[in-house]
Amino acid sequence: MSTTTHRHDERRISPVFLAILAVMAVTGWAVWTDFAASPGLAVFLFVASAWIVSLCLHEYAHARTALHGGDITVGARGYLTLNPMAYTHAVLSIVLPVLFVILGGIGLPGGAVFIDRGRVRGRWKHSLISAAGPLANVLFAAVCTAPFWLGALDGVPVTFQYALAFLAFLQVTAAILNLLPVPGLDGYGVVEPWLSYSVRRQVEPVAPFGFFIVIGLLYVPAVNGAFFDLVDTVMQALDVPDSSRACGFDLFRFWRETPEFCRPA
């Protein structure tokens, strides 16, 4: 097999990702057309599949930036195929974030792809690799909220508006949480190259527990309040009504009774 063909295979989009994308498209169409017998189930499948797609894009952004930064091993690891099963921590990257959306309606960050940092030269490149994932969430949020901040909601079914608002909320929460300078998260990865060697060595043992540190911090009332105040400020700046996001979450939890004011007319 030639080198060119081998590289093409390493970057070919995974059938697994395409299948998830197809679920997102079909269920999105069902939400838009009100075709589904159960709007809540359609919203659940649409948001869940779109959330997984965004997680794949988050990890892909890390890998693609690393490739251009000098780490040519990301292709062999399967990171450029968008296959969620290729991630170093598939459970942290996919399963737990989806579970937390279902349980609490919040977009928690997942585990990152493995980057051979020794192949990357320059502190700016290291920082950019870490920042690329959250920036993918920011871009996804911008796309989801475009009908709101562009004032282009005419003709958009109200149930679809609710789904987009909740999906955007997940992207915003994920971006903000990921950018926290907590060891093991992308925010710390952005600043780590600029820290002294001694500080990095002291922090290194904490990194594997970054995901759980974030969960613990969210149980601190002051931290929880400040975090959601920031999320609400961003959502308001994007012209997304709180009621739309709340109704999106209520519809997402289709196994519970949907409030009357959130039900499609």
Q: How many other C-beta atoms can be found within 10 angstroms of the C-beta atom of residue 76?
A: 11
Give yes or no: 59 in active site. yes
Catalytic position from the list 59, 204, 257, 260: 59
What positions carry a catalytic annotation?
Answer: 59
